[in-house]
Amino acid sequence: MVATAVGVDIGGTKVAGGLVTGEGTVLATARRGTPGGSPAETEDAIVAVVEELAAAADRPPLGVGVGAAGWFDRTGDTVLFSPHLAWRGTTLRRDLARRLRLPLWVGNDADAAAWAEYRFGAARGAQLALMITLGTGIGGGIVLGGRLQRGAHGVAGEWGHMRVVPDGRLCACGNRGCWEQYASGTALAQTAREVALNSPAAAAGLLERVAGRADALTGEDVAQAAAAGDALARELIAEVGHWLGQGIADLAAVLDPDVVVIGGGVSALGDAVLGPARERLERALPGRGFRPGPVVVAAALGPQAGLVGAADLVRLEVAAGTGRDRVPG
């Protein structure tokens, strides 16, 4: 019998879970929609995913790791705020522990993804690895010296909310001009809609996909159009890549990582977005030509990174037996 842990990744649209071995292999998966407007219903979806996966295991899971899109306190007990979900000071760990009755790790989904890529993926062996997750917004995680770094208050790595354009687009966090408003799936869709409204002729290929309704354009529409050869769609994706590269250059100025791993749904665009990001990083890196910069690579674990990392984090806590706040960071 294989010893497994359950990993759960909660995003803005889905609750995805996996039954994960100690080597990071996913044996089974389960999924539910995320009822983003209701914390109680989101909790129900998490429990349903865990119960489905536990039933598929040949013995009870060692524990449950939950990575969620939100800002957690240092202990992981409370979701302080989630820009894309209805959590505000929500005691998620306590509420889930009461229902699941299994060892539990709860924390930020990008932290979990960063840990997975360090342990099993594209950042193995890195001294300082940064994870950037490009999806509805931008999340991030830091692994330094083999330890997950969460900051003094538990909210390190939220660089999607660095302000890159003063008085720019309004962000769900309440500020304007945040990085994720220019380098994310949401940003790709918003820019496409703006271009289609202002220049319908230039966006004719995109508008054909949505029966002429500019307000219906999504990032997926742009990605499909780019794959079909649409020049404007390719230009819009490259623009997201340029913003991504600029942000990586800014992070490199502060943290000096040796590797930056790009994950999340937008990373599936591959070199269409990573190529322009690398080019912009090369031009914008402070001290370029006199210092090394980070290697920018696509995530190796794809959309399963968050659940694999969450499962491994709870496994490590169970193995250490020293409490949730001491292992691994």
Q: Which two tokens stand for residue 253?
A: 């100025």
Q: Give the pairing type, strands 295-298 and 259-263.
A: parallel
H or E element that contains 313: helix 305-320
User: What predicted TM-score, i.e. pTM, was given to this entire model?
Assistant: 0.90
Secondary structure class of 101 (helix, strand, coil)? coil
Q: Please report the pLDDT score of residue 329 as a whole number.
A: 47
ω into 257 cis (within 30 of 0) = no
Nearest to 113 by CA among 300, 320, 323, 329: 300
Q: Please report the pLDDT score of residue 14 as a whole number.
A: 84
Q: Which two tokens stand for residue 140?
A: 């991030």
H or E element that contains 140: strand 138-144
Instruction: State the residue for tokens 């890549």.
Output: 241
DSSP letter (8 states) at residue 178: B
CA distance 114 to 299: 9
Q: Which two tokens stand for residue 239?
A: 């623009």
Q: Please report the pLDDT score of residue 84 as a whole number.
A: 67
Q: Please report the pLDDT score of residue 47 as a whole number.
A: 94
* Residues in CB range of 320: below 8 A, 6 or more apart: 326, 327
Per-residue pLDDT of the chain (329 residues; tens, 9 = 90+): 678 999 999 877 789 999 999 999 999 999 998 776 778 888 899 999 999 999 999 899 999 999 988 888 887 788 887 766 778 888 888 889 899 999 999 999 999 999 999 999 999 999 999 999 998 889 999 999 999 999 998 889 999 999 999 999 999 888 999 999 999 999 999 999 999 999 999 999 999 999 999 999 999 999 999 999 999 999 999 999 999 999 999 999 999 999 999 998 899 999 999 999 999 999 999 998 899 999 999 999 998 999 999 999 999 999 887 544 333 44
CA distance 124 to 208: 44
DSSP letter (8 states) at residue 297: E
CA distance 81 to 124: 31
CA distance 273 to 187: 13
DSSP letter (8 states) at residue 210: G
Query: Which domains can be identified in the chain, with CATH numbers?
Result: 4-115+303-320 (3.30.420.40), 126-299 (3.30.420.40)
> Measuring CA to CA, how many Å separate 21 from each of 44, 63, 304, 311?
25, 12, 13, 8
Q: Please report the pLDDT score of residue 328 as a whole number.
A: 45
Nearest to 87 by CA among 29, 14, 38: 38
Cα torsion 193, 175, 166, 111: sign: negative
* Residues in CB range of 323: below 8 A, 6 or more apart: 317
* Residues in CB range of 74: below 8 A, 6 or more apart: 150, 151, 152, 153, 154, 325
Q: What is the 3-state secondary structure (H, E, C) of 24-64?
A: CCEEEEEEEECCCCCHHHHHHHHHHHHHHHHHHCCCCCCCE
Q: Please report the pLDDT score of residue 238 as a whole number.
A: 97
Strands in 71-72's sheet, in edge-to-edge order, are 71-72, 79-81, 88-90
Q: Please report the pLDDT score of residue 6 as a whole number.
A: 97
User: Cα 314 vs. chain centroid, distance in angstroms?
Assistant: 19
* Residues in CB range of 228: below 8 A, 6 or more apart: none
